A and B are shown apart, each in its own frame.
Chain A
């Protein structure tokens, strides 16, 4: 009887979370009730098993820090693109309005003349049509002088036709596309924050907006730019240093679309590379590199600045400088195989084959179980994979218990 009163407390009883009178009362009930006693026994068996069972977790990946920081840098880019597209749409919209005003007020431009002179200002209301305009013949076609009815109809439908508006209408996709992109970002943000949001806990309260995210990098120039107040950025639209934003103001519709397409098409797997390319397109790469070097003068250990410089040197095929930066990065992160891969590639580009082989071997030895950084394919395409392979074979002959060499050889075989 009255088991339901106690049933809810059985789990706490089993876990030892009931105290004082309540525990006593539940204990007394269990002693009298066979059903509850059996339930307690079952729960206790599971609970004690779970407390003592070995449930192994996965070990952290060695490059978690690097990957997280790279993703953060990548996540910083969308707001700028969103802002840029927003600016593009605003500018395109403004030009559309200006063009419309020009069309209306310019007496030199042949304005489409309505059939009824009065109806130009005051278009017939729906009541003016006795039957709903369901067919083409019933649609009102405003014919300009010397213009065929078909062209006028097509123009009115916004498709083709020798109208002055056709030049403007070609720019309409830009303003239409931009809000969709922004909507997508905000929808994703709100979806992300739905689960993360926590009103009781000090979790990320409310929707995570991009603007709320702090600009993390003191160094990369794209982020420096993000710190510029909007008013200043908007005011500098015509300045040549205003990067892609300025490009939009010069010729809003086409350039906006072109730049947006290029930015979307960037290789997102390497955010810093994307930043470098973007800076180069804006003609500011030299300035960005100089800024990063200055950051390193102040703080020679600044990893983000080093990584940006590396990306810039790689982008410009400055292998010698890239090697210098890589040496510094490897000193900081000796267990990152990706750095060895880049080092080997740069050395090979300079004709330093043996050094490249040595660097790639080191990279393979960092993580002999997986070649996530792609050293084996790189060595294969460079034609030095047999050399690496024979080196490890020799190593194994000298020391058959060398498991590292064994694993690397297995990995090379598997890659084939």
Chain B
């Protein structure tokens, strides 16, 4: 990483390879269009490269990189306003197919898993961008709320508040939870 900080492109390329999976994970969960994901991930790494000298190593590199990933994704959503346009069943995104690979032994339980996964995904997608980012980071990336506060540059109270709001809003969309 020190080499990359000094401007060694090859070393930065190694960092890209080692962190691309986690960046893809965050970006693709915040934005859903497959083609946009590639572009945004590349933009994240380019921004990271351009800002490497400003990285003070007070936090882990991955946390710093993920903060860029989240902010770039939110910026992208702001710019493109694509949420309404993207469908979970869009064949281009392949998300429905991916979601269908849920665990379960019987055909019925697989179908149920798939249905529930889709419902959750839709519920997450329906959230406002900043709330969605908090949900993705906390529930799917395993960050604590303290860490999320650092990533999003806001107070821990704000993170909890957004999480509370997000859960309440999603609850309305996950009616099967009542059963």
Contacts and interface: CB of A to CB of B under 8 A. Distances in A.
B109 interface: no
Interface residues of B, number: 76
Given A55-B121, A203-B67, A204-B54, A216 B164 contact: no
Most buried by B among A47, A51, A60: A60
Given A58-B24, A205-B54, A208-B47, A196 B71 contact: yes
B161 A212 contact: no
Contacts of B56: 202
B54 A203 contact: yes
Contacts of B9: 69, 72, 216-217, 304
A69 B58 CA distance: 26
A208 B171 contact: no
Contacts of B45: 64, 68, 71
Contact of B59 (A61, A71, A201): A201
B13 interface: yes
Most buried by B among A58, A59, A193: A58
A46 B63 CA distance: 26
A50 B120 contact: yes
A43 interface: yes
Interface in A331-367: none
B81 interface: no
B85 interface: no
A214 B48 CA distance: 12
A17 B145 contact: yes
A144 B62 CA distance: 72
Given A46-B174, A60-B20, A201-B150, A55 B29 contact: yes
A69 B64 CA distance: 20
B120 to A, nearest CB: 5
Interface residues of A, number: 55
Contact of A54 (B52, B59, B113, B177): B113
A255 B103 CA distance: 66
Given A60-B21, A200-B153, A201-B151, A216 B117 contact: no
A229 interface: no
Interface stretch (A7-15, A100-108, A147-155): A7-15
A8 B28 CA distance: 30
A56 B25 CA distance: 8
A21 interface: no
Contacts of B113: 54
Contacts of B37: 58
A67 interface: yes
B101 A56 contact: yes
A69 B15 CA distance: 11
Contacts of B58: 201-202
B24 to A, nearest CB: 5
B42 A201 contact: no
Given A17-B145, A49-B120, A54-B103, A214 B52 contact: yes
A30 to B, nearest CB: 15
Given A71-B46, A208-B50, A212-B50, A11 B72 contact: no
Contact of A213 (B28, B50, B99, B135): B50
Nearest to A73: B9
B20 A45 contact: no
Contact of B140 (A17, A55, A69, A196): A55
Interface string A180-204: 0000000000001101101111111
Contacts of B38: 61, 64, 67
A215 B7 contact: yes
A406 B104 CA distance: 30
Interface in A1-50: 8, 10-12, 15, 17, 42-43, 45-47, 49-50
A65 interface: yes
Contacts of B28: 57-58
Interface string B90-109: 00000100110111000000
Given A55-B124, A57-B25, A213 B49 contact: yes
Most buried by B among A54, A69, A205: A54
A45 B171 contact: yes
B165 to A, nearest CB: 9
A11 B170 contact: no
Given A11-B167, A46-B171, A198-B67, 9 more contacts: A50-B135, A54-B103, A58-B37, A71-B45, A72-B49, A203-B64, A217-B9, A218-B8, A303-B10
24 contacts: A8-B157, A11-B164, A15-B163, A45-B177, A53-B117, A53-B120, A54-B103, A57-B24, A57-B29, A59-B21, A60-B21, A61-B41, A64-B16, A64-B42, A65-B20, A68-B46, A69-B16, A193-B51, A203-B51, A204-B55, A205-B51, A212-B50, A212-B53, A304-B9
Interface of B: 6-10, 12-13, 16-17, 20-21, 24-29, 34, 37-38, 41-43, 45-59, 63-64, 67-68, 71-72, 74-75, 95, 98-99, 101-103, 113, 116-117, 120-121, 124, 135, 139-140, 145, 150-151, 153, 157, 160-161, 163-164, 167-168, 170-171, 174, 177
Complex A-B, nearest 6 residue pairs according to Cβ-Cβ distance, in ascending order: A204-B51, A214-B7, A58-B28, A57-B25, A11-B164, A216-B9
Interface of A: 8, 10-12, 15, 17, 42-43, 45-47, 49-51, 53-61, 64-65, 67-69, 71-72, 75, 192-193, 195-196, 198-206, 208, 212-218, 302-304
